[in-house]
Structures are given as structure tokens and as C-alpha cells.
Amino acid sequence: MRIGILGTGTLAAALGEGWSRAGHEVSIGGRSQVKAEKLAERLGHGVLAVAPREAVVGRDAVLLAVSWDGVEDMLGLVGASDGLLEGTPLIDPTNAVAHGVGVLLTEHGESMARRIAGLAPGAHVVKAFHLFPADQWASSPGAGAGVDPANVTVAMCGDNSAALHVVGELVRDVGGIPAILGALDRVRQLEEVAGFVIGLAFAGFDPNSAVPRVPSSPVLD
């Protein structure tokens, strides 16, 4: 796939590495061209540094790997309001949460994913990759600092089934298992989970120990 990544920070580096290792063509665009170039050079694998606008044109998927409060600026920079991302799967991994507390900073009932959908008309927004720390995806599957990839389920929400399928493939390519929770009308729930995890972790509890082991039902085709 041709993948565009907006942002040059920790998550952009980790997924950029994972996807380029999996054989995808990855282009990185940041508000700082210098940072984009440094990251592309560090990742190797033919990863390119491009202007933000170029990172979203003609892509099979775009990852919006910027801080939640930089989303509006970045989408403005690429001209998303002109419909440039129309029909493109746009992955939203953002966490608008108070650091160390986990309270969501979006208005009650609001979500980042829906805000992004409003800022990028026509884009097929998929919430994904917001829960696991970036280093989960950085190293070879099985050798990462995080959970064994075979046990990592990436819960996703989105309104477009084709986009969910594309993002599901990208989850598999970094060793995870994609799971669709529902459409964007359930995305607030997914965003709240990040706050739950962060809140418990900073309070000194293992969030995994706060979730019951419930047997999964068989998936029916």
C-alpha cells in the first residue's frame, strides 16, 4: 500500500518502521520538513519525506500521528477541508486525555474521531492504534518491548467497511489482531478506554488486572 503519515514523533516512527518493514511505501509529512527528513533517513526502507499535502494525495491510507491539539492545524496544512482526503482511510490514533489523569478533554459526548471527520470531509475515519504504546509496533513482531503481538487486539471504530478492512490489514502487518467494535457512533467509548487505562496506570494499578477474563463468543461469518 501507499501510506501517508502526518507527524514525525514517536508513533509516526514506530508505525512507519513497522509498515515499511512489511513492504509498504511510506511517506512522512510533518510541519517541520527537517524532522520529516531526519525520520525518513532513520527509518530507511525507502521511506520518503514529503510535504504534508503530498503525504495525503493518492494514498491507500493516511495516519494522523499528531498531538490531539495539533490535529486542526495539521489538517489545515494539508488542505483537508477542500476534500483532499475524500474516500481515503484516515487513521485516528489520538488521545485527547489529561496527562496522568486520563480525563477526556473533548466535550461530553464528543470524540476526536468525529472532530477529525468534520475537519476532513469525505475521509473515511477509522479510530485505531490509540491504546497501545508506540513501542509495541516498533520492533520485529515478537521482539517488541510490549505485549506479545499474538495477544494484541487493536479495537477499531469506523463508518466505512472498506476503510476498516484496509486498516485491519495494516494492524495485521505490525502483528496485531484487528477487532471492529462498531461505527463512529461508538467511538467515544473507545476513546474513554484510553482514559481508563491511563487513569489506572498512573494510580499504580495494572489496567489489565482491572478487566475480567471473559470468554469470547465464536465469530459467525
Ligand X SMILES: NC(=O)c1ccc[n+]([C@@H]2O[C@H](COP(=O)([O-])OP(=O)(O)OC[C@H]3O[C@@H](n4cnc5c(N)ncnc54)[C@H](OP(=O)(O)O)[C@@H]3O)[C@@H](O)[C@H]2O)c1
Q: Which residues bind ligand X (CB under 6 A)?
A: 7-12, 30-32, 35, 65-68, 70, 73-74, 93-95, 130, 133-134
| C-alpha span between 184 and 202 (Å, rounded) | 28
Which residue's CB is nearer to ligand X, number 90 or number 134? Answer: 134
| C-alpha span between 163 and 211 (Å, rounded) | 29
DSSP state of 12: H
Which residue's CB is nearer to ligand X, number 35 or number 53? Answer: 35
101, three cell numbers: 489523569
Which residue's CB is nearer to ligand X, number 12 or number 119? Answer: 12
Which residue's CB is nearer to ligand X, number 69 or number 86? Answer: 69
DSSP state of 217: P
Shortest distance (Å) from residue 210 CB to ligand X:
19
> Which class for 97: exposed (0-12), middle (13-18), buried (19 or more C-beta within 10 A)?
buried
**Secondary structure class of 98 (helix, strand, coil):** coil
130 phi/psi in degrees, rounded to 5: -90, -15
Which residue's CB is nearer to ligand X, number 34 or number 162? Answer: 34
Shortest distance (Å) from residue 178 CB to ligand X:
16
Which residue's CB is nearer to ligand X, number 113 or number 184? Answer: 113
Shortest distance (Å) from residue 186 CB to ligand X:
19
**Secondary structure (DSSP) of 105-172:** -SPTT--HHHHHHHHSTT-EEEE-S-SS-THHHHSSTTTSSSS-GGG-EEEEEES-HHHHHHHHHHHH
Shortest distance (Å) from residue 45 CB to ligand X:
19
Shortest distance (Å) from residue 218 CB to ligand X:
30
| C-alpha span between 76 and 49 (Å, rounded) | 19
The residue sitting closest to ligand X, measured at its beta carbon, is 9
Shortest distance (Å) from residue 134 CB to ligand X:
4
